Homo-oligomer: A and B are copies of this chain.
């Protein structure tokens, strides 16, 4: 019965192999709902152009409804204002910390009765630490909610084919001109 023992060993090995690999797909790691395969926390800083701060402004109103203009955020919770931005990303919550990348894209206020926005933007990195983009889209609202979740819809370079969820938190909001967002990026598909 030596052969039988051998066969039983082979069966066990096969079972082990099967269990240990059935969770993996080559080139791509999928994780359970509450365990991101990568997690990153950054801050970015937005200073909106108001007609007087051209030197410091990192964003500008480029679309507005009929009842508004482009140097003053619109009434009714800014409904209809489209803002383009190129904002510094920092590792901590200080505006003047050395930027590690740029947040580039747009947001568009989309609700009359409360602050709410739809966003499409990228985190663009080009340093020794990180190269590549993380692309985001989704509903950033209601803005007065403590945290809001948007989607990571793709990535390139170090973030090749990434998917996930990013939790946005308004960390500061001053004088109608400056705000700072904390972005907690949780990737659930990493290649």
Contact = CB atoms under 8 A, between A and B. Distances in A.
B118 A106 contact: yes
A156 B118 CA distance: 14
A90 interface: no
Interface residues of A, number: 80
Interface string A1-27: 101100110110011011001110111
A44 interface: no
Contact of A138 (B49, B110, B133): B133
A106 to B, nearest CB: 6
Contacts of A26: 23, 30, 32
Given A11-B11, A118-B105, A137 B110 contact: no
B23 A22 contact: no
